[in-house]
Structure formats: C-alpha cells, structure tokens
Amino acid sequence: MGFVKDVDHGEAGCAQALPLGYWARVVRIAHMLDPRMALAGDNELARADAICARWPRGGPAPADVREADALARARRLREATYHPDTGRTIFAPLRLSFMVPMNLTVDTAMILAATRANPAWSVLAQAANQTYNAFHFYANRNGTHTDSAAQRVAAYALATASSVTAAVSIQSLGPPGSIARAIAPWTAVCVANALNLPTVRASEWLAGVEVRDADDGAPCGLSRVCGAYAVGVCVVSRVTAATPTLVVPPLVLRAIEARRGAPLPQAARLPLLLGLIGANMCCGVPLVFGLFAQSSTLPGAWCEATVRRPDGRRPVEVTFNRGL
C-alpha cells in the first residue's frame, strides 16, 4: 500500500524487519481470531515460550515436521497473547481471539434490539457494546503511553452517549422491519468508533508514539505523525470491519421475512442471525484488518524533525505498532 508496509515484529516485544504481504496479514489475523487461542493456559503458554526461545526467528528452522508445526503454533499463540510493544499478557477477554464470541453476543443483541419498539433495548445493547469496545481498544493500543483513568472514562462516556443517540435517532425514522431500523446498529457503531478510538488513544496523536529505524531497529524518539496515522487507520479499519457484520445479517433477515410475508419465529431467527454474524466476522475481519499493517513503516521524511537515530541521522523509514 504505497509507502506503508507491514513488518513482522517477530517474538512479542522484539522488533524485526520482515515485510508481510496482504494475504500473509490476512492469515495472521485469522489465526489471531481463533477462539482456541484464548483458552490456552499458563502451561501451554510456557511451552510456547520455550519453543520460541529454542528456535528464534532468523535462526535455523526445525527439520522435523511435527516440531516445525509446534513452532508455528507457538508463535501464533504468542502473537495472540502478548502485546507487541510491552510484551505483557493481554487479558484473555480483550484479546483478538475473544473477539468473535464477544461480538457474537453484543452484535446479536444490537441487531435484535433494533427490531423492538421499545428503544430501551437499544440503549442497553449499545452500552454493552461500548463497554466492551472501550476495554478492547485500550488493551490493543500502541503501548508507548499509559493513559489516565479520566481519559478512558471520558472516551467511554462519549462513545456510549453517541452510539445510543445515533441508534435511537435512526430507529425513530422507521417502524420495526424498515431499512432504517436494520442499519441503525451499524450507524451507531460507526459514530461511536469514530469518537471512542481517538479519545481513548489521544496520547498517541497528542504526544506521539515510539518509532524505530526500519533498517536496524534503532530508537528514533516519538512521532505525533505516526500516532495520528495509527489512530486514523484503526478508526477506518474498525468501521470497515463492522460493515459486513452489522449490515449483511439484518438485511438478509429482512429479505427473508419480506419474502415470507411474516416474521421468522424466534427459534429460527436467533440461530440464523448467529450464523450470519459469525460467518461475516470470521471471513470479513481478517480481509479488512489485513488491508492495514499493524506493525507499519512510514518514510522518515514524513515525521517531525526531532525523529532521529541516536547518532543524529534522520531515518529513511521508521517502524511502529499502530495497534488493532
């Protein structure tokens, strides 16, 4: 994607310049979304640490096929578990591997709430979604800064208020079963994400994120330009990823019910909705997240004049974690 490319940061917390293509990024995100990764216990994680320590990236690869498979799984487990900047374990419900089961619950609740006449259901569903999002966004941010509790509370309050307002306002434009009702959850999520992410990660574009020389990993200081890029791309990717999940399922349900001339019974509607949401999430999220590099590089000339190597030279390219 032009001047922006993905960089495989190797083992968690250690930068390496190994460019990844689009499909490699899609596969990487698909592995990170695997819910089984969230179920790994301390013993399995310790074994993964030991395997990765025995076979570091850039060194010789195991000749035995089973050991090579074990190494690949160990690396995927570490990627899905550790924060790439801090190297610390991400709380299990906030990992990408927990995204599918968590969003199956909240997305289904938002879509079903939009079909109810009482707007209180949408208020509760949107509040639940933004509660999860606020914690998830913070856990998967760039790790350069630790934001204050007041900043996180402000982001949560702003996102919840905006999503509730958007959902209730759009639902008022049409009766249950209308297109306005069907797309209300998606519109609310788009508005909330556009406000929530920049607020909860404000330190990245106000103070900058830590960047390194893409050639050898030398520290180059903080860059607000890279921070703004990181947050902006995350907003776009989150809004884009929500589109197939929150638009396709309710429109499919609406089309089926219009063809039948009557609403589906709840015993059929709920499993169909869960299946549609799950399929769109498992297929759509990796394809969308793969468009944008998590560990990205930008030309050094785009950054502030203060972004320099320890020897005072300007880097040709800088690399940084934009978060998810």
SS3 of the chain:
CCCCEEEECCCCCCCCCEEECHHHHHHHHHHHHCHHHHHCCHHHHHHHHHHHHHCCCCCCCCCCHHHHHHHHHHHHHHHHHECCCCCCECCHHHCHHHHHHHHHHHHHHHHHHCCCCCCHHHHHHHHHHHHHHHHHHHHCCCCCCCCCHHHHHHHHHHHHHHHHHHHHHHHCCCCCCCHHHHHHHHHHHHHHHHHHHHHHCHHHHHCCEEEEECCCCCEEEEEHHHHHHHHHHHHHHHHHHHHHHHHHHHHHHHHHHHHHCCCCCHHHHHHHHHHHHHHHHHHHHHHHHCCCCCEEEEEHHHCCCCCCCCCCCCCCEEEEECCC
pLDDT at 16: 40
Query: What mean pLDDT do residues 303-324 have?
Result: 86
Tens digit of each residue's pLDDT (9 = 90 or more) over 62-121: 777 888 888 888 888 888 888 777 778 888 888 888 888 888 898 999 888 887 777 788
**Predicted model pTM:** 0.72
Find the range with the poorest average confidence among 89-93, 124-128, 158-162, 299-303: 158-162
Find the range with the poorest average confidence among 189-193, 218-222, 252-256, 276-280: 189-193
pLDDT at 161: 80
Residues above pLDDT 90, as percent of the chain = 3
Tens digit of each residue's pLDDT (9 = 90 or more) over 22-55: 888 888 888 888 888 888 888 888 888 888 888 7
Average pLDDT, whole number, for the chain?
A: 80
